[in-house]
Amino acid sequence: MRSREIVVFLGPSLDRASAEMVLRADYRPPAARGDLLRAAEEGARIVGLIDGVFFQESAVAHKEVLRALEMGVAVVGASSMGALRAAELASFGMEGVGEIFRLYRDGVLISDDEVALIFDPISFAPLSEPLVNVRENVRAARERGSIDAVSAEKILAAASSLYFPKRSYDQIISAADLDGGNREGFLRFLRDERRDLKREDALRALERIKEMAERSC
């Protein structure tokens, strides 16, 4: 399959250079309403929906995903907007990949706010932290004994109370009012073992698309 027949909408979940090391494709900015169907009409055979706009612009519509599927286009979703739409449209043939997709599909996560962040409009570098990543890092830090149960609850409560553009670990830790030991423990965990679920799922999605493209050759 030619690389231009694979369109991937990618933004803050994964940097372009890392993506291109996994998959040759036509990489486009986070999708807005109409972009996915346009890619299908232009001849895409596989569309990877990873990042998409919402809140500030109209998001990718369910109908355009369904129309692309009707046209025989394989649509794979993960990480952010892609995980949301894949969880909603899995029964219609959209394929979801990764942990965030699974959490939405199983009803563990229900709000768009979990994957929301702000990003640099030129580089697409994330400028805030998605709540889904905070949850995972709090869970892992608690599991490793870096923080206690009370502090874990404080961190999650603080992160949830902040509007998504203001969610950074500095702001969250400040708002959580942790004692010295738990504050140092969480900071040490973030420095040494911090996870980025959106990035991990984006890489999984690209690997899956690569596999699909190779099978179709």
Q: What are the sequence ranges of the domains in the chain?
A: 6-112+198-216, 131-196
Q: What is the DSSP string of 176-210?
A: HT--HHHHHHHHHHHHHH---HHHHHHHHHHHHHH
- Binned at pLDDT 50, 70 and 90, residue 155 comes out as very high
CB count in 10 Å sphere of residue 9: 26
Q: What average pLDDT score do residues 173-181 get?
A: 95
Rounded CA-CA distance 1/14 in Å is 23
Whether the per-residue pLDDT at 3 is higher than 80: the answer is no
- Binned at pLDDT 50, 70 and 90, residue 202 comes out as very high
The whole-chain average pLDDT of the chain stands at 95
Per residue in 99-136, pLDDT (tens digit) is 999 999 999 999 999 999 999 999 999 999 999 999 99
Q: Would you state the pLDDT for residue 131?
A: 97
Helix/strand/coil percent split, the chain, to 5:
55, 10, 35
Per residue in 25-55, pLDDT (tens digit) is 999 999 999 999 999 999 999 999 999 998 7
Residue 67 has phi, psi (to 5 degrees) of -65, -40
- Binned at pLDDT 50, 70 and 90, residue 57 comes out as confident
Percent of the chain with pLDDT strictly greater than 70: 99
Widest Cα–Cα separation across the chain: 58
Query: In residues, how long is the chain?
Result: 217
Residue 96 has phi, psi (to 5 degrees) of -100, 145
Q: Would you state the pLDDT for residue 10?
A: 98
Task: List residues bridging with 75 in a β-sheet.
Answer: 47
123-156: burial string, b at 16+ Cβ within 10 Å, e else: ebebebbbbbbbbbbbeebbeeebbbeebbebbb
| In this structure, CATH architecture of domain 6-112+198-216 | 3-Layer(aba) Sandwich (3.40)
Q: What average pLDDT score do residues 173-177 get?
A: 95
Rounded CA-CA distance 79/101 in Å is 7
Per residue in 69-99, pLDDT (tens digit) is 999 999 999 999 999 999 999 999 999 999 9
